[in-house]
Structure 1
């Protein structure tokens, strides 16, 4: 497939994605169901285009596209769109698509306008293995679960403030109740935590085999275990200490900021994760 076609495909996706986010914002402010429906189907078309890109890229490279930062960002954005569409259809939580896809749109823009050196790395072709693919894929899927959980915590905090200030309006009615938001956020972290743990185990096993001189104090390795630890504290607080409410939502939001720092910053200083070099 020509580079020009792929470039135009990316540009079209960004334009439609922007239109969808804009319409969701209009619906967020004015509660217009017709606008919401148009925005949803635009987003569904974005998902189709993203899926087409992933399929074409897999056919061209002959592997699952997660071995470079360029590929990983795109797969992350695809996971966010897929999860938000599924949750919106199954659970009917208003505003989750808007907030999730503001994040997804930012990831897509970073991907589209990233420097050219993000697109490939010769070492990734040499070190490709099924173990590595599973490790990276599971890590990104866990980040996707943490992302949706983060959005739900933001909605929880917004709903909490509306109730505290006794602002009874359309926005209050369209956001799910506090118990549902907190429960869904917890469930997604329950899914994301073991996936990240398994991903780290597989990644360390792969590194032990393929990179015998790996520095175990590598920033990305340490950062990943910090992410695991903060979400472990979240789960312990929720289950072991029976903690609920605003404080737990704030902890979850702060935990996701550490996820972003680990994803974008720690990898830049890593001598082990060639994916970010």
Structure 2
């Protein structure tokens, strides 16, 4: 019975999520405010369904669901939807919800068509600990902050090109000014970097305690440290060197693409890292 409820909830969530993103796309192309409002309320309902899915899944497995790649992807998408709705209400930045949830929907599709997770779930149950929970949760929250920072940088470049090309129109006025876009991108990285530092430190401590024979030159460990170093360089360039504008936005976009490579490609070569 519980499995059936979870399956139906997930199917409905994916369908409504797809419709919401489509309506946001229509608004992006044709400045349709009705489509925008409908998409927002649909996305809000998607958030409710995702929250219910997480609740029922927690009841089913008896723990917070972040211990496998399957669970981590879903929690990551929930974080993206939550943050995009909050930022949309607080800042009223048009298109931030659309671009953020294009990313979210892509990850939802990856989650939906992910291979069977039974084996990794069994391993996760064997390795569960408070350190591991905090490590994974901190990492996912940092990825959510970096994702939104990436979206703000994309909007910065989009707005920059509109202004440089003197393409005045409704789309230009609906995107906030460049300084605000750059500041939000920076603030989100300021939030994300410490979370990732916490995640890396706790993950290393957990591996040292639980996996004494783990190789410290494992691709996932090296990749995570490299991603952290890239974002520390971003903060150094912004704070100490005073670099800003288009060049910093491009650097931030490249940093997020490196994060995705680490998430999907490098992680697959890890000898022990079955989660993120």
Q: TM-score when scaled to structure 2?
A: 0.98
Q: Distance in 2 between matches of 1:15 and 1:119?
A: 28
Q: Deviations over 1:232-273 (max 9, x none)?
A: 111000001000110000000000001111111111100121
- 1:275, distance to aligned residue in structure 2 (A): 2.6
- 1:54, distance to aligned residue in structure 2 (A): 0.5
Are the aligned partners of 1:70 and 1:118 in contact in 2 as well (CA < 8 Å)? no
Are the aligned partners of 1:150 and 1:252 in contact in 2 as well (CA < 8 Å)? yes
2:215 is paired with a residue whose SS is coil
Give the structure 2 partner of residue 206 of structure 1: 206
Ranges in structure 2 where 5+ consecutive residues have no aligned partner: none
- 1:3, distance to aligned residue in structure 2 (A): 2.4
- 1:140, distance to aligned residue in structure 2 (A): 0.4
- 1:119, distance to aligned residue in structure 2 (A): 7.6
Q: Deviations over 1:45-78 (max 9, x none)?
A: 0000100010111111111100001000000100
1:88 is paired with a residue whose SS is helix
Change (3 A) 1:177 1:118: farther
Give the structure 1 partner of residue 126 of structure 2: 126
Q: Distance in 2 between matches of 1:30 and 1:102?
A: 18
Ranges in structure 1 where 5+ consecutive residues have no aligned partner: none
Q: Distance in 2 between matches of 1:234 and 1:113?
A: 34
The correspondence of residues 160-175 of structure 1 with structure 2, limited to 5 A, is: 160-175=160-175
Q: Distance in 2 between matches of 1:124 and 1:137?
A: 14
- 1:115, distance to aligned residue in structure 2 (A): 1.1
Q: Distance in 2 between matches of 1:158 and 1:82?
A: 24
Displaced runs of 4 or more, over 3 A: 117-120
Worse-matched range after superposition: 266-275 or 82-91: 266-275
Are the aligned partners of 2:153 and 2:182 in contact in 1 as well (CA < 8 Å)? yes
The correspondence of residues 216-255 of structure 1 with structure 2, limited to 5 A, is: 216-255=216-255
Q: Distance in 1 between matches of 2:87 and 2:5?
A: 32
Q: Distance in 2 between matches of 1:193 and 1:60?
A: 33
Q: Deviations over 1:18-61 (max 9, x none)?
A: 10001101111111222111100000000001000101111111
- 1:120, distance to aligned residue in structure 2 (A): 4.1
Give the structure 1 partner of residue 191 of structure 2: 191
Q: Distance in 1 between matches of 2:52 and 2:126?
A: 26
Q: Deviations over 1:162-190 (max 9, x none)?
A: 00000000000000100000000000000
Give the structure 1 partner of residue 73 of structure 2: 73
Q: Distance in 1 between matches of 2:272 and 2:225?
A: 15
Q: Distance in 1 between matches of 2:196 and 2:98?
A: 26
The correspondence of residues 1-277 of structure 1 with structure 2, limited to 5 A, is: 1-117=1-117, 120-275=120-275
1:116 is paired with a residue whose SS is coil
2:275 is paired with a residue whose SS is helix
- 1:118, distance to aligned residue in structure 2 (A): 6.8
Are the aligned partners of 2:80 and 2:104 in contact in 1 as well (CA < 8 Å)? yes
Q: TM-score when scaled to structure 1?
A: 0.97
Change (3 A) 1:119 1:148: farther
Are the aligned partners of 1:76 and 1:141 in contact in 2 as well (CA < 8 Å)? yes
Change (3 A) 1:106 1:20: same
Are the aligned partners of 1:68 and 1:118 in contact in 2 as well (CA < 8 Å)? no
